[in-house]
């Protein structure tokens, strides 16, 4: 694997694709294609209770019908757990992780708020209280920082220790956390460019830190605006975003291109999918992608 550009789209199979996921797919796909690179598809199916039966098939069928063509076999995170175990083992050997017995309630009582919820107060850093059982494995973030040049948002700098705190890499119920799994996959599978929604901007900082600790190559990042509903909530399965109609590609792809600032001409809505993708590949410019999230009602 030595492509100069290797990107990926990594949906969670907790339901059918919605407009927000299509925006991320379109952005990452066009960046890969206009760089002559590879575009891989990864299914983030580690959190088994969240995986909805039939969702993987629905996602694959939808992407096919929208004319996306991915390289290589589909990567399933559920088949990559030996790699995550090895990464966690390596961090444990170096004393960089520790077991934590705290419940959400324990943490809420002692924590200050960070960029995304409470910052872990460090209760179990020097060992759990006697008689308590580990609920999670956390990463030490003492002095942790991440700095990166985002392809859309420009220079980003994060003080992970104070903004996020020691974060969870593994849960006692046997699930590897997104930050560990995603970092290991991107690093080990040679992804050079991560293009995804800005809702994952803080995650990227943590993943860059994990990649550095594991000695894996750090990809370039570009974070796309996220689609929100009229009340300003991110479109997601949780906010009951309407699943898209995969049988009508132009009705999904043209609005996604418009949302990404690419100004597709109105007549693209009536053309066949090949012509539409040709137009998109010829005219795609990451520099036109807006920095801020917006509502679809525009």
Site string for Zn ion, 64-103 (x = CB under 5 A): ------------------------------------x-x-
Residue 159 Cβ, how far from Zn ion at the closest point, in Å?
21
d(CA 291, CA 294): 10
Contact 24, 197 (CB under 8 A): yes
Q: In the chain, what is the greatest distance between 2 CA atoms, to the nearest angstrom?
A: 69
Q: Does 119 bind Zn ion (CB under 5 A)?
A: no
Nearer to Zn ion, 123 or 293 (CB): 123
Nearer to Zn ion, 168 or 214 (CB): 168
Q: Does 235 bind Zn ion (CB under 5 A)?
A: no
Contact 45, 56 (CB under 8 A): yes
Phi, psi of 3 (to 5 degrees): -60, 145
Nearer to Zn ion, 41 or 100 (CB): 100
Query: Are β-strands 220-224 and 193-197 bridged in parallel, bridged antiparallel, or unpaired?
Result: parallel
Given 124, 146, 198, 210, the residue binding Zn ion (CB under 5 A): 124
Residue 163 Cβ, how far from Zn ion at the closest point, in Å?
19
Nearer to Zn ion, 70 or 120 (CB): 120
- Provide the 10 A C-beta neighbour count for residue 184: 24
d(CA 264, CA 88): 45
Residue 168 Cβ, how far from Zn ion at the closest point, in Å?
10
Contact 11, 27 (CB under 8 A): no
Q: How many residues bind Zn ion (CB under 5 A)?
A: 4
Q: Which residues bind Zn ion (CB under 5 A)?
A: 100, 102, 123-124
């Amino acid at each position: 694997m030595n492509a100069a550009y290797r990107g990926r789209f990594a949906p969670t199979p907790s339901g059918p694709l919605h407009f927000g996921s299509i925006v991320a797919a379109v952005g990452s796909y066009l960046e890969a294609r206009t760089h002559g690179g590879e575009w891989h598809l990864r299914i983030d199916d580690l959190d088994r209770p969240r995986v909805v039966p039939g969702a993987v098939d629905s996602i694959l069928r939808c992407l096919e019908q929208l004319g996306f063509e991915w390289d290589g076999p589909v990567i399933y995170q559920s088949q990559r757990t030996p790699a995550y175990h090895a990464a966690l083992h390596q961090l444990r050997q170096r004393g960089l992780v520790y077991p934590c017995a705290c419940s959400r309630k324990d943490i809420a009582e002692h924590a200050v708020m960070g960029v995304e919820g409470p910052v872990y107060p460090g209760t179990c850093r020097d060992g759990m209280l006697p008689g308590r059982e580990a609920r999670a494995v956390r990463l030490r973030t003492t002095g942790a920082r991440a700095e990166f040049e985002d392809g859309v948002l420009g220079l980003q700098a994060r003080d992970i220790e104070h903004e996020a705190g020691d974060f969870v890499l593994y849960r006692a119920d046997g699930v590897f956390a997104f930050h560990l799994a995603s970092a290991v996959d991107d690093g080990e599978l040679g992804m050079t460019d991560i293009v995804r929604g800005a809702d994952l901007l803080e995650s990227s900082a943590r993943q860059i830190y994990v990649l550095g600790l594991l000695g894996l190559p750090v990809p370039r990042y570009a974070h796309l605006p996220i689609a929100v509903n009229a009340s300003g909530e991110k479109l997601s399965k949780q906010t009951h975003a309407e699943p898209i109609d995969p049988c009508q590609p132009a009705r999904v792809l043209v609005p996604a291109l418009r949302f990404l600032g690419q100004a597709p001409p109105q007549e693209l809505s009536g053309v066949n999918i090949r012509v539409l993708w040709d137009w998109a590949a010829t005219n795609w410019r990451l520099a036109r992608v807006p920095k801020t999230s917006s509502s679809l009602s525009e």
